[in-house]
Amino acid sequence: MIICSKEPPPKQLITSIRRGFRGNNESTNQRLRSRICENKNRKITKICSPQKFNPTKVKAYTVLCTYVLYIDHVIQESVRMLRMCILAVFDIDSLPPTTVQVRGAPAIAMVGALSIAVELGHEDNTFETVRDLRDFVERKFEYLKTARATAVNLGRAKTEVLSFFDEQVQSVHSVAALKVAVIGHIGDMLTKDRQDNENIGRHGAAAILKSFDGGSVSPANGGQSDGLGDNEGDSGSDGGGDGGGDGVVQRKISVLTHCNTGSLATAGYGTALGVIRRLHELGRLKMAYCTETRPYNQGARLTAYELVAEGIPGTLITDSMAAAAMKSKAIGAVIVGADRVVKNGDVANKIGTLQLAVAAAYFKVPFCVAAPTTSFDLATESGGDIVIEERPEHELVAVNGMRVAAPGIGTWNPAFDVTPGELVTGGIITENGIVMPKEVANLKL
């Protein structure tokens, strides 16, 4: 169930967030936590948008939906992290329409779906027939998909919601009841997304440690099992703890990651960063190296922040240091996320992923991709068929709004690149287990 205030985020809450962000004192933090919990405990399930809601403005979507998205797991996540996320959305009045406000393929899908739940709950949106309601949902999803061409999760969310709608319409004939059912299902999708991330972390840590400790990664059987037992994440068979069965202290592993794939890119916990988080929970992580991820610096701004906030040992490096780190820092695995995994096992991800895969292949470091099955696109044959989004010039030539590149220089700024499946040597870590690239085409999704 989605829990939200009847009103948009209170002005007093925003003011508290802003004040706490600037002063960051304990008393402000406590007041902020109390106010957030007060809103959460109202248990009002009707989702409404602001009175002057404009359905053509994604800004209005993201304001309320980001509030809903993070309010439910504020107790588990850092209040400071929540404050940063909300500010990132509320301070967008003067920004150009091409500015990224919600990023991370899973988060884009969830905020998109939640935004439609917001509109469905708006009392001004009434529908005479079931067909009108379905057309409305489909049209809004199609509009939101234009915001990010490369990531596939939003398209999968559309398919899931419309499939649920078509199932419900067989037994539910009231338009009002269908609206409630769709809103509830979108809330369930949010819960499942976090659960899937936790499973990715569990399966990924198990597989990486098995390989690191001298075993071999066991691919999933059709994506349903990683061959490591049903309870490996809890029983210790995933390499958990500091000591082995014979009392020998187990080695700790250093890993390298790219971009941001944690709580700030998903509904919670994270994909690739979720695997790193799980390694840390097991006491088996020595160091997590994160690239700054130029030109948008998601690694420096977000991943580094999450590592520090969670107390996970981390080291920030520039993108150009990655190969040197693999050579000099005993990197045991490279773990990245994915915006899309296609039928032949090729992976589209943040620009810079391909060069990491090439370097990892040279140094014989396992290269792993962590992605929920919602990131799989079996309708696309190969990476060459993926539309790669290109970002504005200013993101490349300026830092914090100050131009650093020579005026007049040309730019090429793709947001993603495609890594061939044969370079994904450590497999694709899903919520169901490990899938090798050559097995993707046979998955039943």
Over residues 294-350, the pLDDT tens digits come to: 998 999 999 999 999 999 999 999 999 999 999 999 999 999 999 999 999 999 999
User: For the stretch 186-198, what's the b/e string if a residue is b when 16 or more beta carbons lie within 10 angstroms of its beta carbon?
Assistant: bbebbeebbebbb
Tell me which H or E stretch contains 17: helix 11-23
Q: Angle of helix 26-40 relative to helix 79-90, nearest 10 degrees?
A: 80
Cα maximum dimension of the chain: 69
Q: SS3 of 403, please?
A: strand
Counted residue by residue, the chain has a size of 445
Q: Is-catalytic flag, 339? A: yes
Indicate the DSSP class of residue 308.
Answer: H
What pLDDT is attached to residue 424? 98
Decide: 92 and 101 in contact? Cβ < 8 Å: yes
What pLDDT is attached to residue 271? 95
What pLDDT is attached to residue 125? 67
What pLDDT is attached to residue 423? 98
Q: SS3 of 143, please?
A: helix
Sorted by where each starts, the structural domains of the chain and their CATH numbers stand as 11-191 (1.20.120), 207-442 (3.40.50.10470)
What pLDDT is attached to residue 184? 85
Q: SS3 of 390, please?
A: strand
Q: What are phi and psi of 363, to 5 degrees?
A: -90, 5
What pLDDT is attached to residue 79? 36
What pLDDT is attached to residue 123? 57
Residue-wise pLDDT for 4-50, tens only, equals 333 344 444 444 434 443 344 445 445 544 554 444 334 323 333 33
Cβ neighbours of 218 (radius 10 Å): 18
In angstroms, the CA 10 to CA 6 distance is: 10
Cis ω for the linkage preceding 295 (within 30 of 0)? yes
Please list the ranges in the chain whose pLDDT falls under 50: 1-26, 28-29, 32-33, 36-98, 218-237, 240-243, 245
66: tokens are 């980001």
What pLDDT is attached to residue 172? 82
As to burial, measured by CB atoms within 10 angstroms (0-12 exposed, 13-18 middle, 19+ buried), residue 389 is middle
Q: Angle of helix 153-168 relative to helix 130-145, nearest 10 degrees?
A: 170
Cβ neighbours of 365 (radius 10 Å): 23
What pLDDT is attached to residue 38? 47
In sequence order, what are the residues at sequence separation of 6 or more whose Cβ sits closer than 8 angstroms to the Cβ of residue 118? 47, 48, 49, 61, 64, 65, 68
In angstroms, the CA 80 to CA 21 distance is: 8
What pLDDT is attached to residue 402? 93
Taking alpha carbons only, the member of 102, 265, 115 closest to residue 183 is 115
What pLDDT is attached to residue 81? 39
> Which among 339, 346, 377, 417 is annotated as catalytic?
339
Q: SS3 of 256, please?
A: strand
